[in-house]
Chain A
């Protein structure tokens, strides 16, 4: 029982209240790769859930797998945890392939979507469970479990059973239970989805803080782009079993690699345009109405037709004379901080524009012609 798994030994004194763990890095500063997903394939019968997915996750990084339901993000997480055997490829943990190992031999812990707390055990017993399986003595396990519960501010509930706790508290127990054995990687499967909005927002920041304090790499699965953007060091956007793009929240939002990413992250307007030329990451396109526009693009080769992504918050109103686009206003939606303006192009295509709700904001009446100015960074040309 005392044999460490994979040469991995939980280190005592992982967290002492009042004595912060040694600072190990900021946002993107990478100290090494902890998990390397190498061309992982997962099939269920004839359905392929993961198509040769490859990505590297760095030490003490908050890494998010983001995508719509059915994109394979949870499957990938379950492959890392070992609940699903992979159909091909390697999952390397510090260089060692763990894909053939059963879940109980992987130094990886999971926070489950619905927590999966053991209902017949107290909070303390739940958190001690993993430590005792690793061969810790009751005294040591209890000490560590109490530290972990302190970290999530649940010290007063040691003797309660999970059924006597609120959803938010159960979520913290699940987090403490998964953190206590000090895994190399902590996997989180949409852990906030069962909480209500206010609580979710509070827990986000706390999770991020705990991740920094412990220095454990977090792999966080979510379909909520706001969650992903606010918490992550890096995000992998997935759809249909493929990784569409990996990057920092800013890269993903400002420089989407393709149409799917642009559409899935934030709001955008997608309009088809003829491409005049591409050179050195910049494209020249012809806007509806005839004006030419230079904008960044991930494309290289010569393409005839492309999709222009226009972020609604980077479009402004102006006089029709100096406008990039001329549209007809159709509708407006009041959003509090913003006002959303709906308009149509001459071709009938709908556009959405977001205007800050300032006192000076003048909204055009429905049916009137409006000029639109594209600010820097508003447009990006993507493959059709």
Chain B
């Protein structure tokens, strides 16, 4: 330890032997609230369903078979792919992706605007952005439903101004679900980007301008790369919950805008449920999210190494 003070031990030395004990609380929390539930879910997905909810402890691949295959592996005819759930999955992915892109497009300028105000106004603007989210998500989503339904204020206003001559019929569409997702998760985009932009040193923009970069070049080559951790954090925070959302598709969408979150929710609700199938769908969802995050993390480490 080169930096060690004479007669004393460096901090890493003090903690070295105690590391396992000091990390105990962390491991308890991660174990009880993360590893055990995930393990339970994984196990349940391989069990046989009990008709009134719950499971029978008999190992089977039936849940995964039901998810992916129409004619199963164990029938007389050759297996074929079941498209119903894959379609729902695919719809969930692009809905969540679109919500992420929209949140990014609106969230970045918003965060930039807030971060460039003076200190007092920043607090005010942050409050303005977050206050609506003190209201329960369910209530906000129901309110959205009332706003955009055919008899709601949005249509009433547009009819009154004469922009349209019949209601838009927004409700029960993918667009309505998208609106719900976008509105629900916008602050999760704004806040991390705000944190990154607030730390951004505006002298960097001046330096770039001084070195013959125009405004768009500064944005592209300096600002965006420097605040990228905030952008990535925001995208993850919007994409992941959007992918598993069930309130927005339940309340705003129709049969054709069903998302994976609703599918999972249904399997655990009431007598019609199928716990192993719900657990299997959740496992598949989690796997996809993990793969996306791992690919990103891998690309980051490769970039840092280069």
Q: Do A and B bind each other?
A: yes
Cβ-neighbour of B212 out of A104, A112, A116, A117 (below 8 A): A104
Stretch at the interface among A129-137, A219-227, A364-372: A129-137
A82-B209, A119-B226, A129-B208 are contacts. A104–B203 as well, Cβ < 8 Å?
no
| A–B complex contacts, Cβ < 8 Å, 16 sampled | A82-B210, A102-B209, A104-B211, A109-B210, A109-B211, A110-B210, A112-B203, A116-B206, A118-B222, A129-B208, A129-B213, A130-B211, A133-B213, A134-B212, A181-B211, A181-B212
Q: Is the CB of B210 within 8 A of A118?
A: no
CB closest chain-A residue, reference B205: A116
Contacts of B210 in A (CB 8 A): 81-83, 103-104, 108-110, 130, 178
- B34 contacts partner chain A, Cβ-Cβ < 8 Å: no
Contacts of A177 in B (CB 8 A): 211
Contacts of A104 in B (CB 8 A): 209-214
Contacts of B226 in A (CB 8 A): 118-120
Cα A109 to Cα B211 in complex, Å, equals: 7
Q: Is the CB of A133 within 8 A of B212?
A: yes
Most buried by A among B204, B211, B212, B221: B211
Q: Is the CB of B211 within 8 A of A116?
A: no
Residue interface bits A150-190, CB-to-B below 8 A is 1, else 0: 00000000000000000000000000011001000000000
Residue interface bits B35-68, CB-to-A below 8 A is 1, else 0: 0000000000000000000000000000000000
Tally B residues with Cβ within 8 Å of A: 18
- A5 contacts partner chain B, Cβ-Cβ < 8 Å: yes
Cα A116 to Cα B205 in complex, Å, equals: 9
Cα A228 to Cα B214 in complex, Å, equals: 34
CB closest chain-B residue, reference A122: B306
Q: Is the CB of A103 within 8 A of B209?
A: yes
Residue interface bits B135-169, CB-to-A below 8 A is 1, else 0: 00000000000000000000000000000000000
Contacts of A103 in B (CB 8 A): 206, 209-210
Query: Shortest beta-carbon distance, B203 to chain A, in Å?
Result: 4
Interface size class of A (residues with CB under 8 A): 20 to 34
- A114 contacts partner chain B, Cβ-Cβ < 8 Å: yes
Residues of B within 8 A of A (CB): 201, 203-204, 206-214, 217, 221-222, 225-226, 228
Q: Is the CB of A110 within 8 A of B207?
A: yes
Cα A181 to Cα B210 in complex, Å, equals: 11
Contacts of B225 in A (CB 8 A): 120
Cα A129 to Cα B225 in complex, Å, equals: 14
Contacts of A181 in B (CB 8 A): 211-212
Query: Shortest beta-carbon distance, B198 to chain A, in Å?
Result: 16
Cα A117 to Cα B207 in complex, Å, equals: 8
CB closest chain-A residue, reference B225: A120
Residue interface bits A186-217, CB-to-B below 8 A is 1, else 0: 00000000000000000000000000000000
CB closest chain-B residue, reference A177: B211
CB closest chain-B residue, reference A127: B211
Query: Shortest beta-carbon distance, B231 to chain A, in Å?
Result: 13
Query: Shortest beta-carbon distance, B287 to chain A, in Å?
Result: 32
Query: Shortest beta-carbon distance, A105 to chain B, in Å?
Result: 8
9 closest A-B pairs (Cβ-Cβ)?
A130-B211, A133-B212, A116-B203, A116-B207, A103-B209, A120-B225, A110-B210, A104-B212, A104-B209
> Given A102-B214, A108-B210, A178-B210, list of 5 further CB < 8 A pairs?
A104-B210, A119-B226, A120-B225, A120-B228, A130-B211
Contacts of A112 in B (CB 8 A): 203, 206-207
Cα A177 to Cα B212 in complex, Å, equals: 12
CB closest chain-A residue, reference B222: A118
Contacts of B208 in A (CB 8 A): 118, 129
Most buried by B among A5, A102, A130, A133: A133
Q: Is the CB of A118 within 8 A of B207?
A: yes
Cα A108 to Cα B210 in complex, Å, equals: 7
Cβ-neighbour of A133 out of B201, B203, B206, B217 (below 8 A): B217
Contacts of A82 in B (CB 8 A): 209-210
Q: Which A residues from 73 to 118 make CB contacts under 8 A with B?
A: 81-83, 102-105, 108-110, 112, 114, 116-118
Query: Shortest beta-carbon distance, A45 to chain B, in Å?
Result: 14
Query: Shortest beta-carbon distance, B20 to chain A, in Å?
Result: 32
Q: Is the CB of A129 within 8 A of B211?
A: yes
